[in-house]
Amino acid sequence: MTTTEPNACPTCGTPDVTFVLFGVCSTCDFWQWQFNLPGGLIINGEHYRIGEEPTADALNNNPSQFGSYGRRYVIRFLDGREVVTHNLWHQGAIPDALRRPDSAAFVWHCIVCGAELAATDTRRRCATDQASVDAAWGEW
């Protein structure tokens, strides 16, 4: 992106910025650093990094020391490989002007039976288990 506005970042066009190293704004500098550092993942336009997998004891004793508080994530790369991590760090949403294609996706599973769910299913239960949960709630 190019801009003719004075003091605008030449990369993203943000006006009235304080320039940092390499003549870009601090936001662009941060994202250029993230993109150049190996191991980054882009999922749904957001940037993540997988940290070293904690031991079970470390995870149970201090989950706050790990990315996403040690929550379990299953990640599928575009080549089909899957990784399970309890140490996923989130750098944030990538600004529109700096967007890159996704390199991976989250894999969600039913919390009741473990079946894989569609990426858009926010209930975290498969249709079969959702029906049984709905029936059980109906009995209350």
**Cα end-to-end distance, the chain, whole Å:** 59
The answer to whether 90 and 68 are in contact (CB under 8 A) is yes
Residues 32 and 96 in one domain: no
pLDDT value at position 33?
Answer: 93
Residues 16 and 69 in one domain: no
Domain that holds residue 6: 1-37
Residues 43 and 33 in one domain: no
pLDDT value at position 35?
Answer: 95
Residues 99 and 44 in one domain: yes
> What average pLDDT values come out for the chain (140 residues) when binned by 10 residues?
65 76 82 94 96 94 93 93 95 94 89 72 62 54
Residues 32 and 63 in one domain: no
Residues 71 and 131 in one domain: yes
Residues 6+ positions from 51 with CB-CB distance below 8 Å: 66, 67, 85, 87, 88, 89
Residues 3 and 56 in one domain: no
pLDDT value at position 125?
Answer: 61
Residues 53 and 73 in one domain: yes
pTM reported for the whole predicted model: 0.76
Q: Look at the chain and report how many structural domains it folds into.
A: 2
Residues 96 and 72 in one domain: yes
Residues 16 and 80 in one domain: no
Instruction: Find where tokens 């490989």 sit.
Output: 81
pLDDT value at position 115?
Answer: 75
Residues 71 and 111 in one domain: yes
Residues 5 and 46 in one domain: no
